[in-house]
Structure 1
Amino acid sequence: MNTHHTAFPPLYVSHGSPMTALEPGAAGAFWQRLGPALQARFGTPKAILAVSAHSLTREPVLLGAARHEAVYDFGGFPDALYQLRYDVDGAPALAQRVAGLLRDAGLPIHLSPEGGLDHGIWTPLRSMFPGANVPVLPLAWPPGWAPERLQALGAALAPLAAEGVLILGSGSITHNLRLFAAGRGEIDQPEYPESAAFRQWFQQHTEAGDHAQLATWRTQAPHAVHMHPTDEHLLPFFVAAGAGGLSHPGLRLHESVTYGHLGMDAYAFGPGAAELQAALA
């Protein structure tokens, strides 16, 4: 029996600090292996549908520009960071396809001719696809939507995976920037126990396929409020999980932590997740 899958497994990656683009660390090294592993096992994506914690709107909006550039949506970093570029084609035709899928699912969707990639998108893509040879379609989304509705959004996008589209959710598995003021500011300092407990809870429930429990993370996960004072960096996880199909468990592809509390974990979903995990091993 042929057990190989051709559909791209939807991904959730933690993009971390913008400085990861200059100081890749363990997560950056993982991204550099992730892109080639995807291409070796599944081929080069026809396009990437990107759902980032930094592109937020009241209702879903597709940024359907024909061309995108990196947006420097941050301040106070070294000048070298603002010199980095990621110029890549957009995917206007795919925007029409995605809009149709979401409308068929009864979800609101708007199309915009505007472009631009926030750092949650271009930072990992510079390492995953450094040749900028894969078109990108950003999908801005409402951070007020509950995990269950974001899972439904992902489920509506699921057919794209078999059409050669890589669905990429980008956020951070833990994200409390206030802890930078409390910490020593060392990128490799030991992990806070609260961060470790939260990440372990997410891994256990994800790999058990307990998507209903994951949706209750705000009240059930240990140290949830401490690790995520606001939700937006975790919520792209649920879009990727929904796109992979809630009948499938997710698999953690990478785990690391910077500054003791900023988790850099990455997950894959859907039938092809195990093959990607094996390809990366």
Structure 2
Amino acid sequence: MPQQPAFFIPHGGGPCFFMDDPKGMWTGMARFLETLPERLATPPKAILIVSAHWETKGFAFTGAQQPSLIYDYYGFPPHTYDLTYGAPGAPSLAARAAELMREQGFEASVDPDRGLDHGAFIPLKVAFPAAEIPVVEMSIERSFDPALHVAAGNALASLREEGVLILGSGMSFHNMQAYGDPRSSPGARAFDDWLTETVQSDAIERADLLAHWSKAPSARFAHPPRQEEHLLPLMVAAGTGAGKGERIYNEEVLSTALSGYRF
């Protein structure tokens, strides 16, 4: 079975891909997400998606046979709270992932009741609209320790050999107060350039750079203190990769540079 890749993908703003978008703000990002199946040598047996919108002590995995949806966005049009995504869960994958984590000394659990939040079901609905591939969501650890998340990816890397597509779902820039301000562009670009160069480093150097990401140019402008949850899914995806990563998406949205990566 060919090894599945790992991706870090942007999930956009709330249910943005399913709303009127007269200025085409989200068109490029949607088109990128739609290309994900084309980037796979074979269809995955399952998808493990790390969401920026689920924080736990230790790591956790959704274990429902049929996950519900969590509409964790606010103030959007009524129809966006009726969106559906009927992909089955994969309790056996959740158990396997938690076992791999515990074998490496991580605290890990399976939550049989939690559903998929919008950091998971919104991009999946764009990329895999048929909703036929089983999905497990993974949390981020509430310590926000970047090295811990890279190491978590290391622990899960073998799942790629078992036909599991690993997705980190977040945003490479996530300063809510800076979106839409033209003055944000230089700082956002500086961090994006650093992040891309880091992703393209070999795995050992990349892990060290990501562990100290807050020292990067404009790092705390791109991800203010205690708001870096949208970068941590990248750490997990990067940790699953043994070689150099590559940038596969780049666009300026709301005056900020945004990127997506493959490992």
Q: Residues 1-281 of structure 1: matches in 2 within 5 Å? A: 6-22=2-18, 23=21, 24-38=26-40, 41=41, 43-180=42-179, 183=180, 192-209=185-202, 210-211=205-206, 212-219=208-215, 221-229=216-224, 230-245=227-242, 248-261=243-256, 263-269=257-263
Whether the aligned pair in 2 keeps the contact of 1:8 and 1:164 (CA below 8 Å) is yes
TM-score by length of 2: 0.90
Q: Quote the Cα distance in structure 1 between the aligned partners of 2:137 and 2:218.
A: 31
Q: Quote the Cα distance in structure 2 between the aligned partners of 1:155 and 1:112.
A: 22
Q: 1:121/1:29 Cα in 2 relative to 1: closer, same or farther (>3 Å)?
A: same
Paired residue for 1:274? none
Percentage of identical aligned residues: 37
Listed as ranges, the gaps of 5+ residues in structure 2 are none
Whether the aligned pair in 2 keeps the contact of 1:36 and 1:128 (CA below 8 Å) is no
Q: Note the aligned Cα RMSD (angstroms).
A: 1.8
CA drift of 1:102 comes to 0.9
CA drift of 1:78 comes to 1.7
- SS in structure 2 of the partner of residue 88 of structure 1: coil
Whether the aligned pair in 2 keeps the contact of 1:191 and 1:257 (CA below 8 Å) is no
CA drift of 1:80 comes to 2.7
Q: Quote the Cα distance in structure 2 between the aligned partners of 1:239 and 1:135.
A: 20
Whether the aligned pair in 2 keeps the contact of 1:13 and 1:264 (CA below 8 Å) is no
Q: Quote the Cα distance in structure 1 between the aligned partners of 2:65 and 2:83.
A: 20
Q: Quote the Cα distance in structure 2 between the aligned partners of 1:143 and 1:252.
A: 27
Q: Quote the Cα distance in structure 2 between the aligned partners of 1:163 and 1:215.
A: 27
Higher strand proportion (structure 1 or 2): 2
CA drift of 1:190 comes to 9.0
CA drift of 1:126 comes to 0.8
Q: Quote the Cα distance in structure 1 between the aligned partners of 2:112 and 2:142.
A: 22
CA drift of 1:266 comes to 1.0
Q: Deviations over 1:51-82 (max 9, x none)?
A: 11001111111110001233210101122322
Q: Quote the Cα distance in structure 1 between the aligned partners of 2:240 and 2:113.
A: 25
Q: Which amino acid in structure 2 is aligned with residue 224 of structure 1? A: A
